Amino acid sequence: MKVILFNGSRREHGCTYTALNIIAKALKENGVDSEIFFIGERAVNGDVDKLVEEAVEAVNGADGIVVGTPVYYASPSGEVVSFLDRLFISPKANLRLKPAAAIASARRAGTTASIDMLLKYFTIKEMPVVSSRYWPMVHGNSPEEVLKDEEGVQIMEVLGRNMAWLLKSIEAGKAAGIAAPEPVKQIKTNFIK
Ligand SMILES: Cc1cc2nc3c(=O)[nH]c(=O)nc-3n(C[C@H](O)[C@H](O)[C@H](O)COP(=O)(O)O)c2cc1C
């Protein structure tokens, strides 16, 4: 079992990475592999299609995803939004029914609004949302500050543990003969009858 952890920051090894790493450690302790996928400025410098192609391959080989974003102006980063807009519309991306979680890193505020935006990608793709024991965020401007946010660190650990539990439960369900619900043909009315 494997989880892809998307780092939506421009800083490859900053606060978002630090939070994702805590989740990765908790996943490992619970028998689940993971890989951190750096989004970076490629999402906004004209290379997003190639980036998404690489991400599709990673997602299709994984059982769950976590999307991490720094908060920029009380919103997710432009990089992560640009990237997710393309990933979630890709017909090649096998996202449906894969457990997903969103986390945010901020100096001070804008975290819940950012997380709300990320969760909306998951819920229109029938992805079960993995939660933690409080809002899934860390606070800090540097990795060192994030690691001092004891509550945030615990929230990331619990999230990793919960993701591992859900993935194992889905595997156990499959082994017990519980079939995944078939996709339905979408009715699109655009509010017109
Ligand atoms: C352009 C920009 C805008 C930011 N806006 C906010 C903000 O609205 N609220 C906040 O608390 N922190 C804000 N920050 C601080 C970052 O969210 C915070 O330092 C975060 O932990 C950085 O994560 P990273 O190291 O993974 O990039 C901003 C940082 C940048 C670079």
pLDDT, position 3: 99
Mutate to test the pocket of ligand 1, among 37, 71, 139 (most ligand atoms within 8 A of CB): 71
Total of domains in the chain:
1
In a domain, residue 189? The reply is no
pLDDT value, residue 68:
98
> CB of 191 closer than 6 A to ligand 1?
no
pLDDT of residue 191: 85
Residue 21 beta carbon below 6 angstroms from any ligand 1 atom: no
Q: Identify whether 184 is part of a domain.
A: no
27 within domain boundaries: yes
Which pLDDT score is estimated for 30?
98
CA of 20 to the centre of ligand 1 (A): 16
Residue 42 near residue 48, CB atoms below 8 Å: yes
Domain that holds residue 78: 2-175
Cβ(114) – ligand 1 distance below 6 Å: no
Ligand 1 pocket, residue 19 CB under 6 Å: no
Residue ID of nearest Cα to ligand 1 atom 16: 106
How far, CA to CA in Å, does 60 sit from each of 18, 29, 68, 92, 152?
A: 25, 23, 19, 9, 29
SS3 55: helix
Task: Report whether residue 50 contacts ligand 1, using a CB cutoff of 6 Å.
Answer: no
Does this model's pTM top 0.75? yes
pLDDT score for 193 = 74
83 part of a folded domain: yes
DSSP code string of 126-154:
TPPBP--SS-SEEE-SSHHHHHH-HHHHH
67 and 106 Cβ atoms separated by less than 8 Å? no
Q: Specify if 65 maps to a domain.
A: yes
Which residue among 37, 66, 80, 107 is best mutated to probe the pocket of ligand 1, counting the most ligand atoms within 8 A of its Cβ? 107
7 close to ligand 1 (CB < 6 Angstrom): no
How far is the first Cα of the chain from the last one, in angstroms, to the nearest whole number?
44
Answer whether residue 48 is part of any domain. Answer: yes
CATH code where residue 117 lies: 3.40.50.360
pLDDT along the chain (193 residues), means of 10: 98 98 98 98 97 98 98 98 98 98 98 98 98 97 98 98 98 97 93 81
Please indicate, yes or no, if residue 29 is contained in any of the structural domains: yes
**Ligand 1 within 6 A of 141 CB?**
yes
Query: Does the C-beta of 109 come closer than 6 Å to ligand 1?
Result: yes
Is there a domain that residue 188 lies in? no
